[in-house]
């Protein structure tokens, strides 16, 4: 139900969301969609390359991101100015548009956008999943958090909250909200057999699935080590840039792994059947991953919503969501043998696997994107 605060909401980002395979863009679009659902009037303001701006198609973008409907978007063809001394032009124009539209709340995903909105006196919330990466961003943050128009900072985990407090953000202006999931997409799941038939996958071969990028820190080395120890298990890697896929395919070949398959990047709308086809889903982040201390991976909540058992690295930051032996199976990070042992244990214990999956699906209900937005709105209105 829209409130005075959500009378006219603008979600402001500098990310070019067209043909963008990064998790950051996916989170923006999923989160923006939920804000559209909870607002009376809404638009997402974003910065595109000129080519993307010329060919902009809201329906195709919604389809690529797995959204049921397109939502209003205002686009500027100024992405080519990012990293130049003219980059602020986009933020100035976005702020002026918000003033012209008499925006009741600007929800920002960059420090520059939040600074410009606050300077225009617009009621502003900043969401950040990481600390400022340069002195300019830090200076902007430490200025706008003390302006009257700044309503609050939303971040994803308590460790990150503590780091923002150390940077000078008032504790009472911070709300912790983990990432979320679009539960509607998982309301009518396929059975394991139906999903495998849909994807033309073997019906009886044990199948372990990983989704997401293949960057450093994601545990791909450990997955290859586990695959070498479990030759009877098929490992399906869903995601990755062409360069990364080629690298890991070559490495798999050098290791003689016939049980590794790579799909490359897929539009998010195509993802659920791959999750439903799995016996076990993998999330083996390394302890040295740049976000290991404060992450809140979207893939975790999609895994849980899919109703399949999850094997994940035992990182302290994940303990607020995953409980070993209850809704997930945690293994030592950076250890391919530990990962293989965890996978093998679940494959050999179908009852345990089913119990973990059932509990994780029950637990994930509170992480729906719309519920997340509802809690943010409630927090803003009761402060």
Per-domain residue ranges for the chain?
4-180+368-382, 183-366
Number of Cβ within 10 Å of residue 356's Cβ equals 27
Residue 1: predicted pLDDT: 62
- Between CA 352 and CA 330 the distance in angstroms is 14
pLDDT tens for 29-79 read 999 999 999 999 999 999 999 999 999 999 999 999 999 999 999 999 999
4-180+368-382: CATH, from 3.30.1330.40, 3.80.10.10, 3.40.50.720, 3.40.50.2000? 3.40.50.2000
Q: Are 4-180+368-382 and 183-366 equal in CATH topology?
A: yes
The DSSP element (H or E) to which 46 belongs, if any, is strand 41-47
Cα torsion 89, 95, 99, 101 to 10°: value is 90
Q: Give residue 84's pLDDT.
A: 87
The HSE-up count of residue 236 (CA atoms within 13 Å, CB side) is: 24
d(CA 177, CA 220): 28
- pLDDT, one tens digit per residue, over 177-234 is 999 999 999 999 999 999 999 999 999 999 999 999 999 889 999 999 999 999 999 9
What's the confidence (pLDDT) of residue 322? 97
H or E element that contains 248: helix 242-254
Edge-to-edge strands of the sheet including 280-283?
A: 260-264, 234-238, 207-211, 280-283, 309-313, 329-331
d(CA 297, CA 320): 12
The conformation of residue 317, written as its DSSP 8-state character, comes to G
Topology of the domain covering 183-366: Rossmann fold (3.40.50)
The stretches in the chain having pLDDT less than 50 are none
């Amino acid at each position: 139900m829209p409130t005075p605060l959500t009378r006219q909401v603008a979600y402001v980002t500098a990310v070019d969301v067209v043909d963008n395979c990064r998790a950051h863009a996916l989170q923006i679009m999923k989160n923006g969609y939920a804000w559209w659902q909870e607002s009376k009037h809404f638009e997402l303001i974003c910065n595109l390359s000129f080519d993307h701006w010329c060919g902009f198609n809201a329906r195709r973008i919604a389809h690529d991101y797995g959204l049921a409907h397109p939502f209003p978007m205002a686009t500027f063809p100024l992405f080519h100015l990012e990293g130049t001394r003219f980059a602020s032009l986009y933020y100035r124009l976005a702020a002026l548009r918000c003033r012209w539209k008499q925006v009741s709340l600007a929800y920002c995903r960059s420090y520059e956008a939040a600074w410009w909105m606050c300077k225009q006196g617009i009621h502003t919330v900043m969401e950040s999943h990481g600390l400022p990466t340069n002195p300019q961003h830090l200076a902007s943050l430490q200025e706008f958090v003390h302006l009257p128009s700044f309503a609050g900072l939303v971040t994803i985990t308590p460790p990150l909250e503590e780091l923002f407090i150390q940077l000078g953000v008032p504790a009472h202006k911070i709300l912790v909200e983990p990432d979320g999931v679009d539960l509607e997409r998982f309301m009518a799941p396929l059975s394991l057999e139906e999903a495998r038939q849909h994807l033309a996958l073997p019906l009886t071969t044990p199948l372990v699935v990983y989704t997401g990028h293949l960057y450093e820190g994601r545990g791909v080395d450990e997955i290859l080590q586990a695959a070498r120890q479990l030759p009877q298990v098929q490992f399906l890697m869903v995601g990755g840039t062409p360069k990364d896929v080629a690298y890991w395919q070559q490495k798999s070949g050098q290791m003689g792994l016939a049980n590794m398959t790579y799909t490359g990047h897929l539009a998010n709308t195509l993802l659920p059947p791959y999750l439903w086809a799995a016996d076990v889903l993998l999330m083996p982040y390394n302890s040295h991953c740049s976000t290991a201390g404060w992450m809140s991976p979207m893939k975790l909540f999609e895994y849980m919503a899919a109703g399949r058992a999850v094997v994940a690295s035992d990182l302290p930051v994940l303990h607020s969501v995953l409980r070993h032996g209850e809704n997930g199976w945690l293994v030592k990070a950076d250890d391919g043998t530990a990962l293989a042992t965890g996978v093998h244990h679940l494959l050999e214990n179908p009852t345990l696997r089913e119990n973990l999956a059932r509990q994780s699906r029950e637990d994930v209900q509170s992480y729906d994107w719309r519920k997340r937005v509802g809690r943010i709105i409630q927090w803003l209105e009761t402060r």
